[in-house]
Amino acid sequence: MRRSTGLLRERARTAASDAATVAAATIPPVRRRRVRAAAAVVAIAGLASLTLTRVALNSPIVLPAAASGQWFDFVSTAATVGPALGVLAVGVTADGWSRLGLVIAGVFGLLSAVAPAAQSPAVGAVIAGGWLTLTGRATAGLLAAAGADAERDVSAPSDGAAVSVVVGAVLLGGVTLSLFGAAGVRPALFRPTGTVLVLVGMAATPLGIRPGTVPLVVGGVAAVGTFWVSAAAPFTTGAVALIAGSVVGAPVALLAVALGGLTATITYGVLETAPDTAVVGVLLLAAGVPSSIPRALGAVLAVAFLAAIGPAVTAGRPPTSDDASTDESTATDGGST
């Protein structure tokens, strides 16, 4: 009787594993890359349009188009719909917990754009979806490293994947605190703490990709330049950081290091023709501190891309958007043997 029960459980687990990976397996890698590239473009365009509009409205010379109420309503909606559609598109190409988390975040993000009553549930959904996504990536990486793929050199260093997961956790911790603070939950504590966590995560993004000398030098120059500008014009720098990046209560030095880290990440992606790496930096730059649902969706999407970088870096090659799906499929198959 116990043997029969065990066989039934084994067959059920195998069937569930096959069902979890069949959709992603049927999507050709080339099409998957195109879908994720389009998702990133749509999300970045939506976030950037609202950020640029806010900066324009607070500049000394305000353009009539930027001051239009209809235009602001349009870019506000686009800033939510764009990242939400991007999260959904990447979720369709993902597996397991990552797919579930991204779909939840994307669906509730879209609902928040059309139904004001969905704003509060969307906050919880985006936070939960982000953590589910990271959990799926982390679990897949651990199972793969444990020997799910017999051809993989498990003696190779795997700290690239681990660092990417840790950086993603720091970013999501900042997302969680920032959203709660913006929603009125201990804002005096959560908003500044969330800002610091997000900036620390931004500064640490190069650690997961192991960039060479040139990206690090470029990032260092950007950090020094940011610090110099902030020292020369502290009020202007603070206003731009607040309006464009929703930065609250963070040291100027940390802000400079965060911008330097993102610059190094983007530079590496451009020089090594690794678009997913560049997307992580651009998304985090466009999202800023995720104190609103649109910004949080952008950060969650960046974490989804970031989690795919570690396994590729561990293997010694530029990361692509297929690595996360491959790792999750491998881990799922390994769990059923």
Answer yes or no: is 247 within a domain: yes
Q: How many domains does the chain have?
A: 1
Answer yes or no: is 207 within a domain: yes
Answer yes or no: is 17 within a domain: no
Domain extent for 87: 27-335
The rounded distance, in Å, linking the Cα atoms of 164 and 101 is 18
The rounded distance, in Å, linking the Cα atoms of 74 and 7 is 56
Answer yes or no: is 5 within a domain: no
pLDDT tens-place string over residues 273-320:
888 999 999 999 999 999 999 999 999 999 999 987 755 554 444 555
The rounded distance, in Å, linking the Cα atoms of 75 and 138 is 34
Answer yes or no: is 232 within a domain: yes
DSSP 249: S
Answer yes or no: is 297 within a domain: yes
Contact predicate 179/163, CB 8 Å:
no
Answer yes or no: is 6 within a domain: no
| Average pLDDT value for residue range 167-173 | 96
pLDDT tens-place string over residues 65-115:
666 778 888 999 999 999 999 999 999 888 888 899 999 999 999 999 998
Q: Is the pLDDT of residue 64 over 90?
A: no
pLDDT of residue 159: 60
What is the b/e burial string over 294-309, where b = at least 16 CB atoms within 10 angstroms of the residue's CB? bbbbbbbbbbbbbbbb
pLDDT of residue 196: 97
DSSP 230: H
Q: What is the mean pLDDT of the chain?
A: 81
- Comparing 15-19, 168-172, 242-246, the range with the smallest average pLDDT is 15-19
Q: What percent of the chain has pLDDT over 90?
A: 54
Q: How many CA atoms lie within 13 A of 260 on its CB side?
A: 22
Answer yes or no: is 178 within a domain: yes
Contact predicate 297/150, CB 8 Å:
no
